Structure 1
Amino acid sequence: MVDRAPQMLAGRYEIGELIGRGGMAEVHIGYDTRLSRRVAIKLLREDLARDPVFLARFRREAQSSAALNNAAIVAVYDTGEEEVISPRSGEKVALPYIIMEYVEGHTVRDLLKDGTAVPINEAVEIVDGVLIALEYAHRAGIVHRDIKPGNIMLTPQGEVKVMDFGIARAMADSQATMTQANAVVGTAQYLSPEQARGEVVDVRSDLYSTGCLLFELLTGQPPFTGDSAVAIAYQHVRETPRTPSSIASDIPEALDRVVLKSLAKDRDQRYTDAAQMRKDLLASVRGGTVSAPSTAVWGVAGGIAPGATTAMASPVPPPTQTMPRDPGTSTQPAIATQQRSSKGWLWGLLAFLVVVLSVAAAYLIMNRDTAPPETPKVEVPVLTDMNQNGARVALEAVGLSMVIGDDVPHDSIEAGLFVSSEPPAGTSVDKGSDVTVHFSSGPGEVEVPDVTDQTQERAREALEAAGLKVSNVSTEDAPGKQKDVVLSTDPKAGSKVPKDSSVTIVVASGFVNVPDLKNKTLEEATKILQEDLKLTLRITEQETGDVDPGLVMSQSDSGKVEVGSTIELVISKEAPAIIIPTETPSPTDGITPNPTGTPSEGNELPSPPKDDNN
């Protein structure tokens, strides 16, 4: 059960009311805001979402089921994962979801919930729709593994739609039908014997489950019931089902034969494909010829009785019984006083021959059954371009079992497709052998190289040589970096990314942005221009009384300038003070000094200046 569902998935799918709940998931009505349509949203349980093996198989199988396009199959539109916070651990959990076609109507389970059988023609029509869906899916290499009434929708228009293709496959390994909790995957009432035994399943397992569905539609009850799932599973493996006509007397014998053939314990004795079963099903209600054998030939274990074939065998006449011989009678023929008639002698010879032939036949049959059969040889088929489901079907078609090996990275093979097998294709092996198959995990991871300080052209060459693609180039102002020099990459250097990933490179624009430095101190302007912007600085001083000394008065450039440019700053300088004298000159002013200290001729003291006004 989903503990905490988000309100929106992938930014487009609105989650509405809960409309269904199962052992694996919850189903909600949803709304696709991008395409404006109603959808059904299946959210997987949190405990299954934590299993990395389940997640890997779920992604692959969801993609396969999304490719199915048939009117009898509920369409899968999209799949993904949404991160939610687990209320149990408080950790982020990737919650897988599937976006499906929303189908109005009800399930076959709703039809059978009161235990009442449906009319024969309606039952055949429902199963016919299921077989149409299975025939299409099996051709695509997908086995449903969980055919049951709850997975079949009936629309108001009478259409049959099968749900949940690929999900049961995603829960199981190729070699078993057990979960990590060792519980059988599937619903007990509709489980094939091989599923109950934990063996590999194939298309015939779906046909067995369809036979169980047909039985319940005709009778109102499944072929086997019990107090527990284990008890029911045991019956699927060991016990023979009743004929439907023993419960509902109006069921024709031909339909009994179809049901019992589909429920054979040995899958080799069931229908080989959905088309064959569908042909017999329709013939059984239309008065046609049915290929299924009479119900009398099925043994206790559900297989064909020893000595019988798919057609009724002609009974062997019983040996003629003879009276015990008298101990006192001679072993030599006695001469009778009355001669036997020739007719009596002929009948005796025929009886003797019948006995001899019967004993010989019994001897041959016993030897055939007890002699160890020689294991036939088959060739491992070519599995190129097949996904997991297709490879399994191809191997099982020749009697081999598939074991999934580790996924391997491959540059040219799409993720999820066949890469190699052990033994390889064409090898002759015993029928029933295991073949280990490896699938591609897609291109391997590569490390993003460090292309910092290289030119854009050289950086592009280095990235492409590493198996990456340059998808975008952006520019940034970078002090001291010439135009087109690489500054960084996204993803960053040293990151591990899938091969062929796209990388964005960031290169220098070759420019820097010079701010307005007016009224900043010389120290502040120097730090911005030289340390931060890596530009050359030229300083001149100018005397002024309008700006405080030491501040920038003007600059040669501002805004976008090329890297390495020279910026000239004019710094204010204090102007010198102007001194105006205010004292009267001393009497000695104007006297030429005499170095000798004695008056010389012509050096008399000057007369006081005349006042022109006097």
Structure 2
Amino acid sequence: MSQPRLLGGRYELDGVVGRGGMAEVYRARDLRLDRLVAVKTLRSDLARDHTFQARFRREAQSAASLNHPSIIAVYDTGEDMIDGVSIPYIIMEFVDGRTLKELLDDDRRLLPERTLELTDGILRALEYSHRNGIVHRDIKPANVMLTRQAEVKVMDFGIARAMNDSQATMTQTSQVIGTAQYLSPEQARGERVDARSDIYSTGCVLYELLTGRPPFTGDSPVSIAYQHVREHPVPPSELDPEIPEWIEAIVFKAMAKDREERYQSAGEMRADIQRGLQGMPTEAGTMAMAPAGSTTMLPPVQQERRDDYDDYDDGYDDHRGRGDDRTKKVMWVVLALAVLGAIGFLGWMLMRGGAEGITIPDVAGSSPEEARQTLEGEGFTNIDEEERPDDEVEEGQVIGTDPGQGQSVSEDTAITILVSSGPGTIEVPDVSGQSEADAMQQLQEEGFQIGPISREASDSVAQGQVVSTDPQAGSAVEPGTSVSIVVSTGPSTVEVPDLANMNREQAQSKLSEVGLSANFREEENGDVAPGTVLSQDPAPGERVEPGGSVTVTVAKAPAQQSPDPGPSDDEGNEGEDDGPGGGPHGSPPPGWPEEMPWPPGAGNMSWRD
């Protein structure tokens, strides 16, 4: 039995769960953290391109910096050597669910309101990524997952950008071919894209969720891209009369050919959707698709136009009606002539524009001042600057222009110089109260390095849990920043001092110095001076809470004992006078006959003269 393939010494692969034109996705187990993960590995032919590898690594790191409930988390990246070739891989959150593409392939039709809920999930992910300076560039049903809990998860952030930076063309890689149906017009023209390009692609996805078909289809990626630039889709309400006008208007606004006429942010589109769902007027209103240019179109009959789309082999023609073959042939001829005329007119317009316009120069990598001088030298008069985060271009240097370099435009066209503000920032999460291990795991998963770990007493945080971090939670920092962790050792305590051989006053003073009080008790002891400490409880060196009490036992002198009374003994006691009558037993009273012995104990008598 063959051993499972192991990546990075910790990720055990457990079979392929998905394949695409660019990568394979495996189900795997993280042996270190004992959890399921998804592993995406690049195709070996792409991995041989060192330039692509380098850009892919940078983009994977950028994707790892995104932490949002609507984005599939990227945990780790690495490389695996296979046949002498380094194959990059990405470790991602494993999501139990289905992609929207699989949902559409099952011919599942959703209520219009449900399609808007799914779109809202996509927009929430884009709103967060755009705020962090990352444009997805490849929004499509295959990159959106729906979990078993009906939550939306967007994946493959940054991968499309790496492909674009490798200058892949629509005919060179099947990755781009596979997504031609969702390309924005500026992507199809090879221009620089921004967040509004993701808005257009989201509009295409919403169109397909509503109608069950993409907005444009064709027999080649080039023909589809042409439609994105010059054509307009069949209105969704013509394909499904139950689609409300206000939803159709939102689709049209998101898919506007001119990015200035689209929603300018994901948040703006989300807000318009929410207004519509609440029965309020939308910003899109009842916007209708206006002509994209001066291309002359033959006035079609609405039903015929719908049939024309059905004739494409796009997987949605299972219930197509059959008409007269001759009529269809005529329609195809008319359509072909219209397309050829449009292509010819477009070529003439491009040549005309190139002759009269000014080509935007490449100013990437220069300073803003140098870029402005270069553009002014070319004759441009309407120049502005805008800062954007960028992980690759040094802060203060020019990323490029909008419109992008190489385009031919008029001299009064608004040119925006895009200046790098440095890498995008991420927010330090609040891990206080978590265990040390859980806090480290979360920080690493969100793209941080683990700094020094220190420990300190805390009266409010349990032992072993995180007290704080440095930088503190909520701080905006660059991805990869080192974060130090402070872990609680439990409530603060003081050490009981050694009071041996101290007197009472010294012991009292020593305990007061460390915030403790004394509870004195005495014990008879004749071996040491009274007041000397004999013992203490707790013992020296133990730790107690501040303000606690220490029982101190000190010596006291033994009690004096009275002598026992004994028989009278006159010998050797002459002259002693211990009693009131003199002598040890007193003296005889005056006039006592000398020949009579003085009786013992007579000294205890009281006599009067």
**TM-score, reference length from structure 2:** 0.51
Letter in 2 for 1:9: L
Partner of 1:181: 172
Query: Which aligned pairs between 1:163-174 and structure 2 lie closer than 5 A?
Result: 163-173=155-165
Distance (Å, rounded) in 1 between the aligned partners of 2:272 and 2:293? 23
- Note if contact 2:52-2:162 (Cα within 8 Å) is conserved in structure 1: yes
Partner of 1:432: 415
Distance (Å, rounded) in 2 between the aligned partners of 1:152 and 1:390? 33
- Is 1:143 matched up with 2:143? no
- Give 1:117 deviation, angstroms: 2.7
Deviations 1:310-346 (A, max 9, x none): xxxxxxxxxxxxxxxxxxxxxxxxxxxxxxxxxxxxx
Match of 1:83, SS state, is: strand
Query: Which aligned pairs between 1:394-409 and structure 2 lie closer than 5 A?
Result: 399=402, 401=404
Percent sequence identity is: 50
Letter in 2 for 1:432: I
Instruction: Name the CA shift for 1:102/1:393 in 2 (closer, same or farther; >3 Å).
Output: farther
Match of 2:88, SS state, is: strand
Deviations 1:221-264 (A, max 9, x none): 11111222222111111111122111111111111110001111
Instruction: Name the CA shift for 1:261/1:215 in 2 (closer, same or farther; >3 Å).
Output: same
Distance (Å, rounded) in 2 between the aligned partners of 1:402 and 1:114? 43
Distance (Å, rounded) in 2 between the aligned partners of 1:196 and 1:434? 22
- Note if contact 1:400-1:435 (Cα within 8 Å) is conserved in structure 2: no
Partner of 1:39: 37
Distance (Å, rounded) in 2 between the aligned partners of 1:94 and 1:265? 41
Partner of 2:10: 12
Instruction: Name the CA shift for 1:126/1:393 in 2 (closer, same or farther; >3 Å).
Output: farther
Q: Figure out how many residues of one structure are paired with residues of the other and give that number.
A: 337
- Give 1:193 deviation, angstroms: 1.2
Distance (Å, rounded) in 1 between the aligned partners of 2:217 and 2:387? 43
- Is 1:287 matched up with 2:270? no
Distance (Å, rounded) in 2 between the aligned partners of 1:390 and 1:232? 37
Instruction: Name the CA shift for 1:150/1:390 in 2 (closer, same or farther; >3 Å).
Output: farther
Distance (Å, rounded) in 1 between the aligned partners of 2:175 and 2:115? 28
**TM-score, reference length from structure 1:** 0.50
Distance (Å, rounded) in 2 between the aligned partners of 1:391 and 1:193? 30
Query: Which residue among 383, 386, 390 is the counterpart of 1:378?
Result: 383
- Note if contact 1:8-1:14 (Cα within 8 Å) is conserved in structure 2: yes
Instruction: Name the CA shift for 1:39/1:221 in 2 (closer, same or farther; >3 Å).
Output: same
Distance (Å, rounded) in 1 between the aligned partners of 2:243 and 2:211? 9
- Note if contact 2:396-2:422 (Cα within 8 Å) is conserved in structure 1: no
- Note if contact 2:39-2:92 (Cα within 8 Å) is conserved in structure 1: yes
Query: Which aligned pairs between 1:581-600 and structure 2 lie closer than 5 A?
Result: none
Deviations 1:81-122 (A, max 9, x none): 11111xxxxxx1000000000000111111100344311121
- Note if contact 2:104-2:212 (Cα within 8 Å) is conserved in structure 1: yes
Instruction: Name the CA shift for 1:264/1:6 in 2 (closer, same or farther; >3 Å).
Output: farther
Instruction: Name the CA shift for 1:145/1:279 in 2 (closer, same or farther; >3 Å).
Output: same
- Give 1:180 deviation, angstroms: 9.0
- Give 1:381 deviation, angstroms: 4.4
Match of 1:172, SS state, is: helix
Partner of 2:351: none
Distance (Å, rounded) in 1 between the aligned partners of 2:405 and 2:169? 16
Deviations 1:486-538 (A, max 9, x none): xxxxxxxxxxxxxxxxxxxxxxxxxxxxxxxxxxxxxxxxxxxxxxxxxxxxx
- Give 1:399 deviation, angstroms: 3.6
Partner of 1:223: 215
- Note if contact 1:172-1:179 (Cα within 8 Å) is conserved in structure 2: no
- Is 1:387 matched up with 2:391? yes
Deviations 1:174-220 (A, max 9, x none): 8x663793777360211111111222111111111100100011111
- Note if contact 1:141-1:390 (Cα within 8 Å) is conserved in structure 2: no
Partner of 1:79: 77
* Structure with the larger RCO, 1 or 2 (CA within 8 Å, 6+ apart): 2
Cα RMSD for the two superposed structures: 3.6
Distance (Å, rounded) in 1 between the aligned partners of 2:144 and 2:289? 32
- Note if contact 1:25-1:42 (Cα within 8 Å) is conserved in structure 2: yes
Structure 1, gaps ≥5 residues long: 86-91, 304-370, 404-428, 441-614
- Note if contact 1:28-1:42 (Cα within 8 Å) is conserved in structure 2: yes
Query: Which aligned pairs between 1:101-500 and structure 2 lie closer than 5 A?
Result: 101-173=93-165, 178=169, 181=172, 185=176, 187-296=179-288, 298-301=290-293, 375-381=380-386, 386-388=390-392, 399=402, 401=404, 431-432=414-415
- Give 1:282 deviation, angstroms: 2.2
Distance (Å, rounded) in 1 between the aligned partners of 2:4 and 2:294? 49
Distance (Å, rounded) in 2 between the aligned partners of 1:392 and 1:187? 34
Distance (Å, rounded) in 2 between the aligned partners of 1:18 and 1:59? 22
- Is 1:98 matched up with 2:81? no
- Give 1:25 deviation, angstroms: 0.2
Distance (Å, rounded) in 1 between the aligned partners of 2:222 and 2:280? 39
- Give 1:296 deviation, angstroms: 3.6
- Give 1:394 deviation, angstroms: 9.4
